[in-house]
Amino acid sequence: MPHGLRSIGQVLAVLKPDFPDVSISKIRFLESEGLISPERAPSGYRRYSEPDVVRLRYILDVQKNHYLPLKVIREHLDMMDSGLEPPKLETPVTAPAADPVIAQPPIAAQPRSAKRPIRVTRRELLELSGLSETSLTELERHALVTPRRGTAYYGRDALTVAVVARKLASFGMDARHLRVIKQAAEREVGLIEQAVAPHLRRNPNPNQLSAEVMQLVLHAHAAIMRSTMPQ
pLDDT tens digits for range 151-162: 889 988 898 899
Nearest Cα residue to 126 out of 175, 162, 72, 152? 162
User: Tell me, what's the pLDDT at 93?
Assistant: 43
Nearest Cα residue to 160 out of 106, 219, 113? 106
What type of residue is 145? V
Higher pLDDT, 1 or 180: 180
Q: What is the mean pLDDT of residues 4-13?
A: 91
Q: What is the mean pLDDT of residues 80-90?
A: 81
Whole-angstrom CA distances from 20 to 48, 61, 130, 159 are 19, 12, 11, 18
> Which H helix or E strand runs over 46?
strand 46-47
Domain with CATH 1.10.1660.10 in the chain: 8-81
pTM of the model: 0.56
pLDDT beyond 70 at 165: yes
The answer as to CATH 1.10.1660.10 being correct for domain 8-81 is yes
CATH entry, 106-228, from 3.90.25, 2.60.120, 1.10.1660, 2.30.30: 1.10.1660
